[in-house]
């Protein structure tokens, strides 16, 4: 179960995809022969705006100067995530992320992290459905040292088999902690597997446990050789840097890596859903949980009707659950209004907005004591129906837009958030001004558009419902298996 999102977080998660969080435009184009540096495409921008270049081997470089502090963020993005995996090796993108820290011909396992720390920096990495990213923040004058280290492990990652088996045990424990031992996480995992039949988004990012247990060192090495190619990667630098100096350094350390073709991606389109789907998940929990997931379009940056609908759906999610006084909170948790009856302890609405695969619009609620799951389900649907029938007020629309604008300003105070937004936009085939264009487009969404999507996208035909139910037998078994604390 994801944490409660405020309005600013809702937009940011939508912009990202981990989250985030992650269209396909521009992916196939990178399979062609790489451009030379002289033919690189550069966005016409001012000195403080992001600029985009193509290095000699096809790798993308994005640089945004930010002079407010003598520091810089270095992020290497690879356009590969769980969406690029195949059945039997789910989780391999995430395992590979772990193995990138395990050495090169010149670095021992763990030495990469030690060297970043010695530079006065901090570093980490993450894998999402759409991408894998490696990031460091260091004093600005050490950015070339980071480039040298990152280019080395991107091109020459290697490790002994015994190092793989040790790290695989870490990944299995990670799955136990973040999925297996959390019934709500298992529910969402089962829901996605039910909602999608052909699309690879049906598989969990961390992988099925059976696939992790059966994974071999060669599975990971093959995935690395296939996808970690310059034309499938982007280097994003944000901070107190000179654009042309960074470009020259990137050409020296990354642009000289051997160019290879980006493998073609086969379409795995999801068949049309023609009726509602439902599952019940029973576990050792104290409270039930109801989740409704509707299939909706994603935003790819265009001006066509589907893109306009995606923007309106983002506004709808914020109207429902973008702030503490939003509609779902008032109607189900606070029971505001004459004759109101409190039906939920907590509620959420979430829509991913963009990514390389299909998107879902989620509504969820934890029933209040004495309230059944069917009643909560009906209450969630009633709020959608009310907007479809009556629309939203000008005040609701204005509040959403005002908070979004303020959130964007605050988010840009972070160099890491700037780099992450630029990288996610690149992953989705968007240009360096996508964030600004998105905010402009969101400002143009009307109340009529929000009412229209509420009327058209929330039919039973597109509905996937998951209900988490307390199971007394499982709870009794869990209590019996719990070790006795001798201190009690």
Active site (catalytic) residues: 97
Q: How far apart are CA 109 and CA 159, in angstroms?
A: 8
Crossing angle of helices 92-99 and 161-175, in 10° steps, is 120
- Three-state DSSP at 280 gives strand
Q: Which pairing describes strands 122-127 and 132-139: parallel, antiparallel, or unpaired?
A: antiparallel
Q: Give the length of the chain.
A: 488
Sequence-separated (6 or more) residues with CB below 8 Å from residue 477: 284
The three-state DSSP-derived secondary structure of 119-172 is CCCEEEEEECCCCEEEEEEEEHHHHHHHHHHHHHHHHHCCCCHHHHHHHHHHHH
Tokens coding 434: 């996508």
Q: How far apart are CA 128 and CA 134, in angstroms?
A: 12
For residues 100 and 274, the answer to whether their CB atoms sit within 8 Å is: no
Residue 385 DSSP class = H
Place of tokens 């999925």: 179
The dihedral built from the CA positions of residue 346, 206, 173 and 474, taken in this order, carries a sign that is positive
Query: Beta-carbon neighbour count of residue 471 at 10 Å?
Result: 17
Tokens coding 408: 């964007």
Residue 282 CA to its chain's centroid (Å):
28
Sequence-separated (6 or more) residues with CB below 8 Å from residue 29: none
As a whole number of Å, the end-to-end CA separation of the chain is 31
- Three-state DSSP at 216 gives coil
Beta bridge partners of 214: none
Q: What is the dihedral of CA 385, 388, 389, 394, to 10 degrees?
A: 120
Q: How far apart are CA 481 and CA 488, in angstroms?
A: 17
Place of tokens 């630029």: 422
**288, burial (CB in 10 Å: exposed 0-12, middle 13-18, buried 19+):** middle
């Amino acid at each position: 179960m994801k944490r409660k999102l405020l309005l600013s977080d809702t937009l940011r998660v939508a912009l990202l995809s981990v989250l985030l969080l992650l269209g396909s435009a521009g992916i196939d184009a990178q399979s062609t022969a790489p451009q030379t540096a002289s033919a690189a495409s550069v966005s016409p921008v001012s000195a403080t705006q992001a600029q985009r270049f193509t290095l000699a081997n096809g790798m993308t470089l994005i640089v945004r100067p930010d002079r407010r502090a003598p520091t810089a963020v270095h992020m290497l993005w690879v356009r590969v995530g769980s969406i690029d995996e195949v059945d039997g090796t789910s989780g391999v993108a995430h395992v590979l992320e772990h193995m990138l820290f395990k050495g090169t011909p010149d670095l021992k396992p763990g030495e990469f992290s030690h060297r970043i720390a010695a530079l006065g920096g901090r570093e980490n990495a993450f894998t999402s459905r759409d991408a894998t990213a490696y990031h460091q923040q260091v004093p600005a004058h050490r950015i070339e040292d980071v480039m040298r280290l990152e280019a080395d492990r991107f091109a020459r990652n290697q490790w002994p088999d015994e190092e793989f088996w040790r790290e695989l045990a870490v990944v299995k424990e990670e799955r136990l902690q973040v999925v297996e031992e959390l019934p709500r996480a298992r529910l969402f995992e089962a829901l996605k597997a039910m909602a999608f039949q052909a699309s690879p988004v049906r598989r969990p990012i961390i992988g099925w446990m059976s696939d992790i247990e059966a994974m071999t060192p060669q599975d990971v090495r093959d995935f690395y050789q296939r996808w970690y190619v310059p034309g499938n990667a982007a280097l994003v630098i944000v901070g107190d840097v000179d654009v042309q100096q960074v470009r020259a350094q990137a050409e020296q350390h990354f642009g000289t890596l051997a160019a290879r073709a980006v493998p073609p991606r086969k379409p795995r389109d999801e068949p049309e859903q023609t009726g509602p789907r439902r599952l019940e998940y029973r576990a050792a929990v104290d409270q039930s949980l109801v989740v409704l997931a509707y299939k909706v379009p994603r935003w790819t940056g265009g001006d066509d009707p589907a893109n306009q609908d995606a923007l309106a759906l983002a506004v709808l999610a914020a109207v429902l659950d973008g702030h503490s006084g939003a509609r779902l909170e008032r109607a189900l948790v606070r029971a505001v209004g004459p004759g109101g009856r409190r039906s939920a302890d907590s509620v959420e609405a979430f829509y991913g907005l963009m990514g390389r695969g299909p998107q879902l619009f989620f509504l969820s609620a934890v029933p209040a004591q004495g309230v059944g799951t069917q009643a909560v389900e009906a209450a969630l649907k009633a709020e959608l129906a009310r907007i479809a029938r009556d629309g939203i007020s000008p005040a609701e629309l204005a509040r959403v837009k005002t908070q979004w604008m303020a959130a964007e300003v605050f988010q840009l105070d972070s160099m890491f958030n700037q780099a992450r937004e630029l990288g996610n936009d690149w992953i989705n085939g968007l240009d360096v001004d996508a964030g600004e264009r998105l905010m402009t487009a969101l400002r143009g969404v009307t109340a009529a558009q929000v009412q229209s999507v509420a009327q058209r996208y929330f039919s039973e035909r597109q509905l996937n419902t998951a209900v988490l139910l307390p199971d007394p037998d499982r709870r009794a078994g869990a209590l019996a298996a719990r070790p006795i604390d001798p201190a009690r």
